[in-house]
Amino acid sequence: MKALTLTAEWSPKLEYNLSDQERETHKVKNGFMVWKNPTINVGQTADPTPKDDEVIIQVAAVGICGSDMHMYERGTDGYMLYPGLTRFPNILGHEFSGRVVEVGKKVRDLKIGDLVAVEEIQWCGECVACRRGFVNHCDNLEELGFTTPGAMAQFIPVRARYCWKLDELVDRIGDEKEALIMGAMVEPTGVSYHAMFNRIHTWQPGVYVAVFGAGPIGLAAEALAVAAGASQVIVLDTSESRREIAKRLGATHVLDPIGLDLNTSLLDLTYGRGVDFVVEAAGAPDHTIAPLTRALAVNATIAHIGLAGKPTPLSLVHYQQRGVQFAGSLGHAGHGTFQNVIRMMASGRLDMRPMVSARMQLDDAVSAFKRLESRQDAKIILLPN
């Protein structure tokens, strides 16, 4: 089959203290400290066969994520930018949907022909974290497209328990191809859903919301906030084209943060009360969360999604004075998140297709990554088949 593979040099930085497990497995927790000179190419690899609890999915649509870009891009020192869990070489791609074309012997709830979206978080279900319900923080975590082969390929094997059917979405849209495009956006939307509604239970309809970053995760957070009854949704991004997409998705205000007096601007827009709910999806908390003080409303909540590679100074005394909650968030699994996102999409309240700026063939994947370097597109969808 055809697939897009990323390769990189194993070259741990001198200051990075590798664990024995990282050294043995090459599965590292901090990719930007180990992997040098990443490159991507489209080529041929062996067709997969399913294990007893797996299905083979013919990939219909797969999105290029900001994390994919950060694995592909490198800093001035040649090291990849992505700071998270990684192992290479590996097939990229984790935001996807497709059709089941083969099922393992022990699979009961899926059949050939089913259309599905798939969780990227591959939780074990047996460790202490999983048994406590925190599957996104599994002690034995694998991540599809990060540590195991991903979906920028014609076919992919996945455990059946990570799959969610798209039946309701197909019925709503009436077009399988369009339902599969939507299905590829369940994963990034689920990341924002988990941060906003699962991690900390402070959401109330009518709140003032600020979203930092109008990439796919930030735009998903914006759309969810609109659907969940926010009275104002203020989106901040440096890209003019992404701000335009945010307008189309229902933002009440869009702002360019460059040179902006952040606190004064947000206070002006919220009648002096401040924002009640903040989503950090830009991965730049030193420029977004750190300067945010007076514009945080009493009892405000901050949901931090974007990954940053360096520590961020925070004014904790201000958080105490205002009673601010801060919730770090990772992943999208558990809590019925995929099911709920699919249902919201099927209800018509959540249509993420306006942020798709291009649909391209897998053969054109390298040029798609190159195009995304400018950060003008919100989402490019690859069509492997």
Distance from first CA to last CA of the chain, Å, rounded? 10
Average pLDDT, the chain: 96
The span from the CA of 170 to the CA of 178, in Å, is: 8
> Which residue, 302, 94, 53, is CA-closest to 185?
94
318 as an active site residue: the answer is: no
358/380 Cα distance (integer angstroms): 5
Alpha helices in 40-87 (DSSP H): 66-72
pLDDT of residue 315: 84
Per the CB < 8 A criterion, the answer to whether 188 and 119 are in contact is no
| Residue 315: other Cβ atoms inside 10 A | 16
Q: Which of 26, 67, 315, 318 is catalytic?
A: 67
The model's pTM = 0.94
Q: How far apart are CA 254 and CA 237, in angstroms?
A: 8
What is the residue extent of each domain of the chain?
A: 2-188+332-383, 200-328
pLDDT tens digits, one per residue of 37-92 = 999 999 999 999 999 999 999 999 999 999 999 999 999 999 999 999 999 999 99
Q: What is the DSSP letter of 148?
A: B
Give residue 198's identity as a one-letter amino acid code: N
Among candidate residues 333, 338, 372, 334, the one with its CA nearest the CA of residue 356? 372
Report phi then psi at 216, rounded to 5.
-55, -40
Architecture of the CATH domain 200-328: 3-Layer(aba) Sandwich (3.40)
**Can you name the residues that pair with 10 across neighbouring β-strands?**
35
Handedness of CA 369, 371, 376, 381 (dihedral sign): negative
The answer, yes or no, to whether the previous bond of 89 is cis (omega within 30 of 0) is yes
pLDDT value at residue 342: 98
pLDDT of residue 295: 97
Burial of 109 (0-12, 13-18, 19+ CB in 10 A): exposed
Q: Does residue 67 carry a catalytic annotation?
A: yes
CA distance 142 to 80: 20
In the chain, which stretches have pLDDT less than 50? none
Per the listing, tokens 């990227």 go with 120
In whole angstroms, what is the distance from residue 152 CA to residue 216 CA? Answer: 18
189: burial class by Cβ within 10 Å (0-12, 13-18, 19+)? Answer: buried
The pLDDT, as a whole number, for residue 311 is: 84
Q: Which of 26, 70, 194, 304 is catalytic?
A: 70
Q: Which CATH number fits domain 2-188+332-383: 3.90.180.10, 3.60.110.10, 3.40.50.2000, 3.30.70.100?
A: 3.90.180.10
Task: Note the pLDDT of residue 307.
Answer: 84
- Cα(150)–Cα(162) distance, rounded to whole angstroms? 14
For residue 217, what pLDDT is reported?
A: 94
**Three-state secondary structure call for residue 167:** helix
